[in-house]
Amino acid sequence: MKKNYFILLFFVLIVLSFLYIEVTPYIKDKKLKDQIKKELLLKEAIEKKRLSNLIKPKYEKDKEKRSKIWYVYQDYNSATQLYKYDIATEIARAYYEQLQNYEKAMEWIEYSNSIVPTAENSRQACIVLQNMKKFEESISWCTQGHELGDDLSLLGIALAYRGVKNYEEALNWAFIANEKQIPGSADVIGLAYSALSDYVNAEKWFLQAIKDDPKDSRALNNLISFYIEDLNDKIRGAAYAIASVNNVFPAHTIGDFLVGIHQIPLEDLQKAYELQLNTPILPYKYEEKERRLGFLNEKDYKSVLERYIKRNTTK
C-alpha cells in the first residue's frame, strides 16, 4: 500500500510538470514567463510536501483515513485541475494589469472559468470587458461574480448598465452597492443621474463621493467635469481642480485640463483660486507660496495654452 502512495506522489508531480509545459508556450513575455514558472515550482513543492505528509506510516494503520486519501486523489485529473484554474487566473491578471492585453486576458479567464467558475474570475472578466468597452458582454460576467458572492461586482453591474445607457438599471444596482458601502458607488450614482440630466441629484451624489473619499481621483475628476461641462459652472469646477493640485493631481495635468482642454478664461481661474483658498470645499487646498501654480498670470496662462496647442497639433 505504501508503494501505491509513492506512485501517486510521482504521478501528481509529473502532471504538474506537464502543466508548466502546457501553459507557458502562450506567454511570450520573458519576465511574465519566469514569474509563472516560479509559481508552478512553488505549487509543486507545496503539493510534494502535502502528499509526503499524507503517506506517513501512521496513516497506513488507519484504514478510514487511508480510504479518504484515496477518495480525494483517485481522480488525478481533477486534483491537478485545481492548480490549472488558479494559475490561469494569475496569468489573466498579469496580461491585463501588466501588459494591458485584454484579449489574451479574456482567453485565460474563459479557460479558468471553464474549469471552475469563481467570483474572482468573474470580477476580472467584468473589469477587462469594460476596459474593452464591451459593456453588454460584461453584464453576464459581473452578474455571475455577484451570484458567486462578490459584492464588489455590484458596482460592475451598475457600470455595465451605464455603459449600455440603461441608466435606470444602473441606478438600481448602484444603490444596492451603496447600501453595502461598496467604495465608489456614490460616484456611479452621480454619473447615472448626470446622464439622465437630473443635475440636482447628480451633484448631491458626486459631493457624497468626495465626502466618502476626498482623494478619490476618479470621483474628483467626475465632479470637476460635472461642474464645468454639465452645469457650465467653470469657476466652481476650476476651484475643485486647483485645490487638488499636488494633493491628488499634478499641476501640469490641471493646467492642461483647465487652460488647454476647456480654455477657461484667466479671470475665472483667478476667481477659482480664491474660492478654494477661502472656502472649505475640500479638506485640502492649494496655496501659492514660494512656487507659482503656473497658469494664474497672463504670461504663464499664455505659455501653458501655447504648449498644449503645440503638443496636440504635432501628434
Please state the separation of Cα 146 from the chain's center in Å: 16
* Domain architecture of the chain: domains with CATH: 105-198 (1.25.40.10), 214-315 (no CATH)
- Determine contact, residues 286/293, Cβ cutoff 8 Å: yes
Amino acid 158: pLDDT? 98
Centre a 10 Å sphere on the Cβ of residue 37 and count the other Cβ atoms it contains: 14
Q: Walk along the chain (315 residues) and give the pLDDT tens digit of each residue.
A: 544 544 444 444 444 454 444 444 444 556 665 666 555 555 554 444 444 444 343 444 444 444 443 333 343 344 455 556 667 787 788 788 877 889 989 998 998 898 889 999 999 999 999 999 999 999 999 999 999 999 999 999 999 999 999 999 999 999 999 999 999 999 999 999 999 999 999 999 999 999 999 999 999 999 999 999 999 999 999 999 999 999 999 999 999 999 999 999 999 999 999 999 999 999 999 988 757 888 999 999 999 999 999 988 865
Q: What is the pLDDT of residues 20-40, one digit of tens each?
A: 444 444 445 566 656 665 555
Amino acid 80: pLDDT? 52
Amino acid 116: pLDDT? 83
Q: What is the pLDDT of residues 138-169, one digit of tens each?
A: 999 999 999 999 999 999 999 999 999 999 99
pTM for the complete prediction?
0.73
Task: Write down the residue that cell numbers 491537478 correspond to.
Answer: 80
Amino acid 264: pLDDT? 97
Grouping H, G, I as helix, E, B as strand and the rest as coil, residue 193 is: helix
- Determine contact, residues 174/189, Cβ cutoff 8 Å: yes
> Rounded CA gap, 90 and 112, in Å?
10
In the 8-state DSSP scheme, what is residue 26? G
Burial 171-197 (b: 16+ CB within 10 A, else e): bebbbbbbeeebebbbbbbbbbbbeee
- Determine contact, residues 123/112, Cβ cutoff 8 Å: no
> Rounded CA gap, 297 and 4, in Å?
83
From the CA atom positions of the chain, what is the Rg in Å?
A: 27
CA-CA distances (angstroms) from residue 280 to 236, 238, 239?
Answer: 12, 14, 11
- Determine contact, residues 296/270, Cβ cutoff 8 Å: yes
**The one-letter amino acid at 227:** Y
Beta bridge partners of 249: 245
